[in-house]
Each structure stands twice: as structure tokens, then as C-alpha cells.
A and B are shown apart, each in its own frame.
Chain A
Amino acid sequence: MTDAQRGPGAGTAVIEAQDLRKRYGPVQAVDGVSFQVQRGEIFGMLGPNGAGKTTTVEMLEGLRKPDGGQALVLGIDVAREPDRLKERIGVQLQTAALYPNLTVTEVIDLFRSFYRQRRPTRELIAALDLTERKDALTKVLSGGQRQRLSVALALINDPELIFLDEPTTGMDPAARRSLWDLVLILKERGITVLLTTHYMEEAEQLCDRIAIMDHGKILEMGTVKDLVERRFQELSIRFDAVAGLDDDRLGALPAVTRVVHEDGEVALYTGDVAATIGGLLVATGELSQEPQNLAVRRATLEDVFLDLTGRALRD
């Protein structure tokens, strides 16, 4: 899908993926993926497990050779000069464990020895809020602390671009929020972030732009607002079902385009919220009733995802 290449001029693109392909045996894990990420952006890849997000990211990091297509990252042809690229990017792998019998400080010192350019260990530990745990073995860290350490490792060489593969998987909500704050701090410092996730909320909260992936392809790409509005111009008005109001009557209310029943709740899709609610109140008033739990909702990323893939994302 060449129309997926969006965004401003190529001069500011930090990542240019062109028709990337990767096959594992009978499985076409990545099936012609193209996109660009601009400098300073937080770009999210959203999709279920097995959608091909991780494989795509690993081809951009120089960890896997694509079967086809080209990846230019920071202007470097990844397939040709992976080592030059690795010096300049930060990588956090999905579920990668660390040396279990080394302390936080020791692991950071070890990884510092791999890079020419490196930030001071103490500064990294402080930035990731690990000072109290600096002498703890990594095997006794909590999931959130471990994840922060692995982000610290990704920041050692002061990279311009950082890859975070499912950075909050397995975290409790508080740890997840604090990692989001951290990603936003990275953005403020001008670092470009590419992250993969299967959490809708994470994509909505953090990402400037999102690519929705499934079965090795990018289905749609853009800002959350774009993605939603491209598909759902209407809002939905929801309320508990009212006895005596049948679908014909509801469908005849002003501006209603669709009537849907979900778990005892009615959803009216409308292009004009005020007119529809006015009509609804008149109709219920005639029955001497009021609509309970009335709410107006814009379609969300979840709805877009459901619409695109025909299935919900499971956590």
C-alpha cells in the first residue's frame, strides 16, 4: 500500500520503510510494509500478537534481514550497515531479560562498554528512578523496575531514535502511567520514538501517529483523530432501553442513521446530537419516562480497530 506513505517531505524522515517483507516458513509475517516516521514523532504500531509488529521493528533495528524491501533508518541502509546504525539507536526488546545475577549498576556499566558515545551511569539510574535499586540484582526487580532498567539501557548512547517493543506489557496501571510520562519526556528532548503496543489506550494517549497492523500488513495509518473520523463521522447516543420505544420509532428520530442494541443498551448513531436528543426526550416524555444513563460518545480507536479487523484487541 503505497498510499500509506504520508507525512511531510522525506528530508525529515528518521525511518523510511519501503515494502518490507519477511517470511517464516509458511507464515508471511510481514507482507509489504511501508511507512515513514518523522523526527521528534512518537509513532505507534498497534495490532494483536502475531500481527508482524515485532518482526517489522526488528528489521528496522538491524536484528533481522528482510526478504524484500528496504529500510533507511537515520539515513543508514539497515541491511548494509547494521553496526553503524546500532551505535546510534536505542533498543528495548519485548520481554528481553537481563543478566539475572548482575546488579542494576553492573548491567548499565556493562552495556555502556559497548558504545562509543555514552551517558553517565548515575545520570541514567536517576533518570529512570532506579537510584534506590541500583545495587539490587536484576532478578529481584519488579516488572516495572525491570522495564525501566531496560529503557535505561536503550538510552545509554543518547540515541536520536528509540524503539520500544511493547514497553508496558505486564505492568500494573501505575507503572504503565509512569512509563508513559517517561516516553513523553523523551519526546520533549527531541527523541523520535517508535513503539509497538496492543493497548488501545496507550496508542491513544502517547502516539502522534498510529499504524494499525494485522496479518503482516498496515491496514490504516494516521493520527487517532484522522483514523476515527475517516471511518466514523457520526457520534453515538447511548441510554438504557426504554419499554414501549421500538426501533421504528427510534429510527424515525431526527438525524438518526442507525439503531444498535448492545446488552440492554440502545445506541443511536447520529449526525446531529442536539436534534436527536431533543426528539428522544419528546418521545420518552410521551410515555411519561426519561432515558436513563444517557451518554454521548465519539467512536474510539477500538471501534476503528473492530471495524478494520472484525475482531476486538485482547489485552
Chain B
Amino acid sequence: MSALRALTVANIRSFVRDRAAIFWTLAFPILFVVLFGSIFSGNDATSFQVGWVDEDGTPGAGQLRSGFAGTGIVELTDGSREALLEQMRQGDLDAIVVVPAGVGQALDSATSGEPPATPVTLVVFTDPSQQTQSTTIQQIVSQVVAATNQVLSGRPPVLALETQSLQTDDISPAAYFVPSILAMALMQLGVFAAIPLVEQREKLILKRLSATPLRRWTLVGSNILMRLLIALVQSVLIVSIGALLFGVTIVGSIALVAGFIVLGSVTFISIGYVIASFAKTEESANSLTSVVQFPLMFLSGIFFPIEFMPDFLQPVAAVMPLTYLGDALRQVMVGGAPYAPLPIDALVLGAWLVGSFLISARFFRWQ
């Protein structure tokens, strides 16, 4: 067995047999997801705000409108396509239905027994990050369209439906906090790397290892590898619970999500090494990790948008690495509104990674 593999296995075994570590890295974030989810999932909307764009203007289109309004679960707002799209982006509308010009004429000709050769297509904009909502609205629209077609009994059908997605600022509370909790869990996993490291130094395990031919990079590599594996388990657990209990699914690229999970984990492991560079004893490592993790957690906008913070705290949040990990995960996972563009998120995390790496390379002591 190679030293890297043997050390990684040994680290994982030690980790799994340490109940406190298991609780903080696996049980605690899951508890958080379930707790937050139960608090926020009570506000299911009973009616949907739907924008109505009538580009046709004929009585036929007006009839279609009353058909929708008659379902009782949508509230229609009229307006131009541009204006309504903007409203939806800001989160004031859940969906938009666009009735193109020609609908009235097609309906008229269908009722007079001469259906058009090609159906006229209605367009529906929904936000896929709001999964339950967007499916419900799509169902309503397609039911109305199907009913219309049936009444006219026109073959081929008179109306067709096309759905388009639009990313909105307004994501559900569950969609907001699932990536946040994932980011928080990755942060804790990384920062907590300091504790076993200091423990192993204090108990002279690191010194004993340095009396063997083992290379130091193998030791560091195995620590990172082991934490990445745990990060993977954490991510799968948190994402599955988010999806199963609260319907929060990943809308973006899985590869990008994985990329940010790795980048974030490695960055926070580096910060853990910085803590281990300055903590002399296991106890001081424990308190130093708390000192580091709580401001990180609460000043980074992972639990509420940064705009809601007091003005004087916003610049603090703007330098916290967790702000950018949470932001990146939220954008990629649930299509949340960006705090910063993704490359900036990656850049800031990378800067923290390089900075902490240099500090620990300079100050970390093996004995």
C-alpha cells in the first residue's frame, strides 16, 4: 500500500472513530438544513403571480385571458413583454405568458371550420430554480391550451406551447440556504483540519512521522485528500436532503458545483493550516477555530443577503472567503442572483488559498 493511501485511510479511520468530528461535519449541517427547511417551507404560495403579454389584442386573446383567470390559482398582471420580464427578474412575477399576434385570427378561423396549417405558439417563461412553482404553472398553461384545442376540436391543434426559462432574483428560502449550508459545512471541515494537526503535533505524532522516510508533501496531501473525500460525502448528503425534503435541485453544471466545492474545501483547509501554525496546544487550536469560524459564518452573507447587513459590516463581508464560496454555490446550484461574477468568486477564493498557503508554509512547525 502506498504511503499516501495508507495515511489517507488512517486519517479517515481516525476521523470516523471520533464522534465529535462526525457530529460537527456531518450531523450538524444536516440538522441545519432540516431545521431551516421546516421553518421556511410553510410559505407555499396559494396563487401565482403571472404576467400576461397580449401581443394580439383581439377578442379571441381576451377570451383566452379569462380562461386563465378562471383557473383561480393565478393572478394576472398585464403589460408589455419587456416590462414584465424585468418585473419577473426582480422577483415580482412567478411566470409570464406571451400571447403572440395572430392568436385571435387563428381562433376565429378554427371556429369557422378552417383551422390554420400551423398552430400558433404561446410562450411561457418560468424560473426553473423554483421547481414546484414552475411545473405547476406550466401544467396550468398546458391544461388551458389543451382545453382550448379540445373545444375547437381542430385538427391540427390551433395553439401550441413553448416554455422558456428565466433566472430570477427571487429564489425560495430553501434554495437560498441549501448552498449556504453546504458552504458553511465545507468551511468548518476545512478550518477544523487545524485540530487533529495540532493534536498530532502536540502528541509528537508528527515528530515520530518525521523520523521515518515519509515525505512531508505526502502527509499534507493525505490530509487534503481525506478532507476532500469527506467534503464529497457532506455535499452529497446536503444536496440530497435539500432535493428530497425541499425540492431544491441543482440547475447549473454539476462539474462547476464540484469545482467550487474542491476550491472552497482546499481554501478552508489552508486556513486550517494557518490556525495550526499559530496554535500551540489542542485547546488553543479549539478556541482559535471558533474565533475564526463564527465571524466567517455570520459576516459572510451565507444566511441572509449582504444588502440586509448594516452598512459598516458590508465591507467586512466583501472580503470574507465564505461570502464568495456561498455566492458561487448559490449561483451554480440554484441560479441565485450573483453577488459577484463567478470568475471573481474563484479569484477571491484562490487569493485566500494562496495567502494562507504562504503563511502556513512560513510559520507551520512540525514539532
Contact = CB atoms under 8 A, between A and B. Distances in A.
Interface string A26-63: 00000000000000000000000000000000000111
Interface string A118-142: 0000000000000000000100000
Contacts of A281: none
A61 B208 CA distance: 11
Interface in B1-25: 1-3, 5-7, 10, 13-14, 17-18
A88 to B, nearest CB: 9
B155 interface: no
A86 B211 contact: yes
Nearest to B21: A101
Contacts of B5: 113
Interface string A76-95: 00000001001100010101
A111 B219 CA distance: 12
A86 B3 contact: no
B213 A96 contact: no
B212 interface: yes
B365 interface: no
A116 to B, nearest CB: 8
A17 to B, nearest CB: 18
Nearest to B15: A101
Contacts of A102: 10, 13-14
Given A96-B208, A98-B205, A101-B18, A113 B213 contact: no
Contacts, number: 67
A86 B214 CA distance: 9
B211 A61 contact: yes
A96 B10 contact: no
Interface residues of B, number: 23
B153 interface: no
A114 B4 CA distance: 9
A115 B213 contact: yes
B139 interface: no
B218 to A, nearest CB: 9
A114 B212 contact: yes
A63 B3 contact: no
B190 to A, nearest CB: 21
B13 A101 contact: yes
Interface of A: 61-63, 83, 86-87, 91, 93, 95-102, 106-107, 109-116, 137, 153
26 contacts: A61-B211, A63-B207, A63-B211, A63-B367, A86-B211, A86-B213, A91-B212, A93-B207, A93-B208, A97-B205, A99-B14, A99-B205, A100-B14, A100-B203, A102-B13, A102-B14, A106-B10, A107-B10, A109-B1, A111-B212, A112-B6, A113-B3, A113-B5, A114-B213, A115-B213, A116-B213
Closest A-B pairs by Cβ, 10 of them: A113-B6, A97-B203, A91-B211, A101-B17, A96-B204, A114-B212, A101-B14, A96-B208, A114-B214, A86-B213
Interface of B: 1-3, 5-7, 10, 13-14, 17-18, 203-205, 207-214, 367
